[in-house]
Structure 1
Amino acid sequence: MEPEPLFDLEPAGTAGPDFAELARLPFSELMAPDWAEALSGVEAELRSVLSFLAAEEAAGRRVLPSASNVLRAFRQPLKGVRVLIVGQDPYPTPGHAVGLAFSVDAGTRPIPRSLANIYRELESDLGLPPRIHGDLGAWAEQGVLLLNRVLSVREGAAGSHRGKGWEAISTAAVTAVAGRRTADGTAAPLVAVLWGKDAESVRPLLGSTPVVASAHPSPLSASRGFFGSRPFSRVNALLREQGACPVDWEIPAVP
């Protein structure tokens, strides 16, 4: 089922909200209600980051992803998250970043090499065919939180928005996911997937959450432990151990 729109967007063919407009919206309109409650303690930090992005935009610097998508990871309800996959920062190539770690717009060709390596491992692990598109929205709709440590980037400048405040937001988000409890007080089912050193930095926030860790799928490191790590089958085994349903990792041929 499609999530509710975050904003009252303009009619098709017109521009969505810019970052200045985003910074002025009520907090409850920026994300799913339970995420807004969970992240209320870092509202000031989030508004500060959005104001920074508005200033970047006003200075003529293109920010990726768009304002409509920068908080997309928080559209699906917090209560439904069962897998956390931690990324670094968005793709700095125009048209690639869509607000979900590792995912790209369905029309992007070719897909980024890191994502191609993820598909290669998905086929090796579960026998699922790689797709020509890179839209991972089907995973997000099943409760897979595709969360970058830093949620924006300046066009063409990888890592350019590190240290601007996003780390506090993603830290609070990981803490909220790992801290959920069921009605009887036990930890809610969750598996964390940590690919690379940046992702490993959140491990102290995870408590007793089961972790599947390996090298990053980047072409620079995939051959040093990502290939052959079988993360998808391992995640599903750990979910079953917690009494949760496994994820259907198959990406639809047409998103």
Structure 2
Amino acid sequence: MTKSSAPSGRSEAPRAWRHLAFFTTHYPQITAQLADDPRRILPPDHQRFAALSACAPSEVRVVFLGQDPYPTPGHAHGLAFSVDPDVRPLPRSLTNIFKEMEDDLGSHPKTGDLRAWAAQGVLLLNTVLSVPAGEANGHKDLGWQQLAHEVLAEVSCRPTAFVLWGKQAQNLRKHIHPGPHLMIETAHPSPLSARRGFFGSKPFSRINDWLRERGEQPINWTQE
């Protein structure tokens, strides 16, 4: 069966990540539940693993851990915090991320499309990879979190920068192998919490300073 003719709710595991146990132990059941869900599911199934498809395990240098996809139709496209380039206005969390970037670096991308980050080894991974339209956290009980656990364990075998915004992301720190990582843990950029430690945290310059210290190319966050 080709990808284009796959049934609704089905997206093939990215080749570079297919060895993870999740795709045998959990994904078949999740696929069945998605197929039985009559609601509109976001993002479209062919974009569900877009974050993993953009970064093979050996290419990951930075991990941003999100919660679940944007529940507004037309926003989510498979990468945490990112939206398609024509989305206006931006989601409020992304607006705050850009405000912090402006303060940190003096600039920010012209659109909310963060795929240029992914091309540089930035894994923008949600812990839940699907959501019913208009129902944030509507799929939090499907079992998606197991994939995030395994991805964190996989990429933390090498020094990596981890950005854990908010308690939900920080609770997954136990799945990160100890190592010479950069750990950035602050409040979530949501309007409900951003002023409790997210603003002023300067994550983007801190990551680039860490990469330079390791002799690695810094991330071009602003896409200029």
* Superposition pairs of residues 35-184 of structure 1, within 5 angstroms: 35-37=17-19, 39-56=20-37, 59=38, 61-75=39-53, 76-131=55-110, 133-179=111-157
Q: Name the CA shift for 1:20/1:198 in 2 (closer, same or farther; >3 Å).
A: closer
Helix, strand or coil at the partner of 2:44: coil
Deviations 1:128-173 (A, max 9, x none): 1452x21000001111000011111111111010021101111111
Given the alignment of the two structures, is residue 196 of structure 1 paired with residue 166 of structure 2, yes or no? yes
TM norm structure 1: 0.81
Deviations 1:36-75 (A, max 9, x none): 12x145423012112211111xx2x100011010111110
For the 8 Å contact 2:150–2:175, the answer to whether it is kept is no
TM norm structure 2: 0.92
Helix, strand or coil at the partner of 1:19: coil
For the 8 Å contact 1:103–1:135, the answer to whether it is kept is yes
Find the structure with the greater CA-based Rg: 1
Q: Distance in 2 between matches of 1:248 and 1:101?
A: 18
Q: Which runs of 5+ in 2 are unaligned?
A: none
In the TM superposition, residue 243 of structure 1 has moved relative to its aligned partner by 3.0
Helix, strand or coil at the partner of 1:175: helix
Q: Distance in 2 between matches of 1:148 and 1:20?
A: 17
Q: Which amino acid aligns with 2:17?
A: W
Q: Which amino acid aligns with 2:122?
A: V
Q: Which of residues 196, 199, 206 is equivalent to 1:224?
A: 196
Aligned to 2:187: 215
Q: Distance in 2 between matches of 1:93 and 1:212?
A: 28
For the 8 Å contact 2:66–2:126, the answer to whether it is kept is yes
- How many equivalent pairs are there? 221
